[in-house]
Chain A
Amino acid sequence: MSTFITDTAKTAHNGIFPSNEVMLDLKDLKKVYPTPKGDYVVLEHLNLQIRKEEFVTIIGHSGCGKTTMLSMIAGLNPISGGNISVLGKHIKGPGPDRGVIFQAPSLMPWMTALQNVMLGVNQVFPHATKGQRNDIAKYYLQKVGLEDAFNKRASDLSQGMQQRVGIARAFAIKPKVLLLDEPFGMLDSLTRGELQDILIEIWNKEKITAVMITHDVDEAIFLADRVVMMTSGPRAKIGDVLDIDFERPRSRKSVLEHDDYYKYRKHLIDFLEH
Chain B
Amino acid sequence: MKQSLTLGKVTKFMGLGFLSSFKDLFTGKLEKEDYKAFLRKVIVPIASVLLFIGLWHLGAKSLYNVEAEFRIEKALNEQGQAAADEMAACIASGDISCQPNTLPSPSQVWASFQSLLKDHALISADKAAFIEKTAALNEKRVAEGKDAIVYTGRPSFVDQIFRSLKTVFAGFFLALLIAVPLGIFIGLSPTLKSAFNWFIQIFKPVSPVVWYLLVFMIVKTLLIDSSEDSSFSISFIAVGLCSMWATLVNTSMGVSSVDKDYINVAKVLKLGNFQKVFKVVLPSSLPLIFTGLKITLSVAWMVLIAIELLAQSPGLGLFVWEEFQNGANDSNAKIIVAMFVIGIIGFLLDRLMLAIQNWVSFEKTDAI
| A interface residue numbers (CB < 8 A to B) | 74-76, 93-96, 98-100, 102, 104, 106, 108-111, 119-120, 123-124, 151, 153, 155, 173
Kindly report which residue of chain A lies nearest to residue B265, judged by CB atoms: A106
Do B362 and A173 touch (CB < 8 A)?
no
Sample of 10 further A-B pairs with CB below 8 A, known A102-B261, A109-B363: A76-B264, A94-B267, A94-B268, A95-B268, A102-B264, A108-B279, A119-B279, A151-B1, A155-B362, A155-B363
B269 contact set on A, CB distance < 8 A: 96, 119-120, 123-124, 173
User: Do the beta carbons of A74 and B268 come within 8 Å of each other?
Assistant: yes
User: Beyond A109-B362, A119-B269, A123-B269, is A100–B264 a contact (Cβ under 8 Å)?
Assistant: yes
Contacts of A74 in B (CB 8 A): 264, 268
B284 x A96 contact (CB < 8 A): no
B362 touches A123 (CB 8 A): no
Which chain A residues border B279 with CB–CB below 8 Å?
Answer: 108, 119
Q: Does B155 contact A (CB under 8 A)?
A: no
B271 within 8 A of A: yes
**Closest B-chain residue to A71, C-beta based?**
B264
Q: How far is the CA of A74 from the CA of B269 in the complex (A)?
A: 11
The residues of A that contact B280 with a CB separation of less than 8 Å are 108
User: Is the C-beta of B270 less than 8 angstroms from some C-beta in chain A?
Assistant: yes
Given A96-B270, A155-B362, is A108 in contact with B262 using a C-beta cutoff of 8 Å?
A: yes
Residues of B within 8 A of A (CB): 1, 259, 261-262, 264-265, 267-271, 275, 279-280, 283-284, 286, 361-363
Q: A104-B261, A108-B262, A153-B362 are in contact. Are A99 and B283 (CB under 8 A)?
A: no
Quick check: A123 and B271 within 8 Å, CB to CB? Answer: yes
Q: Say whether B270 contacts A76, CB under 8 Å.
A: no
Identify which of A95, A153, A155 contacts B270 (C-beta below 8 A). Answer: A95
Q: Which residues of A contact B1 (CB under 8 A)?
A: 151
Task: Pull 16 A–B residue pairs with CB atoms less than 8 Å apart, ordered by A.
Answer: A74-B264, A75-B268, A76-B264, A96-B268, A99-B268, A102-B261, A102-B265, A106-B261, A108-B262, A109-B362, A119-B265, A119-B269, A123-B269, A155-B362, A155-B363, A173-B269
Residue of A at shortest CB range from B272?
Answer: A123
- Which residues of B have CB within 8 Å of A93? 267
CB-CB under 8 A from B268, the residues of chain A are 74-76, 94-96, 98-100
Please indicate the chain B residues that have their CB under 8 angstroms from the CB of A155 in the complex: 362-363
In the complex, which of the residues B265, B268, B279 has the most CB atoms of chain A within 10 Å of its own CB atom? B268
- Asked if A76 and B267 make an inter-chain contact with CB atoms under 8 angstroms apart, the answer reads yes
Name the residue on A nearest B361 (C-beta): A110
Q: A123 and B270: CB pair below 8 A?
A: yes
Q: Is the CB of A110 within 8 A of B283?
A: yes
Closest 8 CB pairs of A and B: A106-B261, A110-B362, A94-B267, A110-B283, A123-B269, A109-B362, A120-B269, A94-B268
Q: How far is the CA of A155 from the CA of B287 in the complex (A)?
A: 14
Chain A residues with CB below 8 A from B265, complex form: 100, 102, 106, 108, 119
Residue of B nearest to A107 (CB): B265
Question: Among the interface residues A108, A120, A173, which one has the most CB atoms of the partner chain B within 10 A?
Answer: A108
Determine the distance from Cα of A106 to Cα of B363 in the docked complex, in whole angstroms: 15
CB neighbours (8 Å) of B259 from chain A are 106
Give the Cβ gap from A67 to chain B, nearest Cβ, in Å.
Answer: 12
Shortest Cβ distance from residue B128 to the other chain A in the assembled complex, whole angstroms: 49
User: A74-B268, A76-B268, A98-B268 in contact; A110/B261 too (CB < 8 A)?
Assistant: no
In angstroms, how far is the closest chain B Cβ from the Cβ of A166?
A: 9
Q: Which residues of A contact B284 (CB under 8 A)?
A: 108, 110
Q: Which residues of A sit under 8 angstroms from B267, Cβ to Cβ?
A: 75-76, 93-94
How far is the CB of A17 from the nearest CB of chain B, in Å?
A: 28
What is the bound-complex CA distance between A153 and B270, given in angstroms? 23
Instruction: State the CA gap A124–B264 with chains docked (Å).
Output: 16
**B residues less than 8 Å from A104 (CB atoms):** 261
How far is B283's CA from A76's CA once the two chains are assembled, in angstroms?
23
The answer for the CA separation of A93 and B264 in the assembled complex, in Å, is: 11
Cβ of B356 to closest chain A Cβ, rounded Å: 15
Is A108 touching B264 in the complex (CB atoms < 8 A)?
Answer: no
Name the B residues within 8 Å of A108 (CB-CB): 262, 265, 279-280, 283-284
Q: Which residue of A lies closest to B1 (CB)?
A: A151
- Write the chain B residue with the least CB distance to A121: B269
Report the minimum CB–CB distance from B266 to chain A (whole Å).
Answer: 9
Smallest distance from the beta carbon of A253 to chain B beta carbons, Å? 35
User: A95–B271 Cα gap in the complex (Å)?
Assistant: 9
Distance of A106 Cα from B258 Cα, bound (Å):
12
Given A119-B279, A153-B362, the answer on whether A106 and B262 have CB atoms closer than 8 Å is: yes
| Cα of A173 to Cα of B268 in the assembled complex, Å | 11
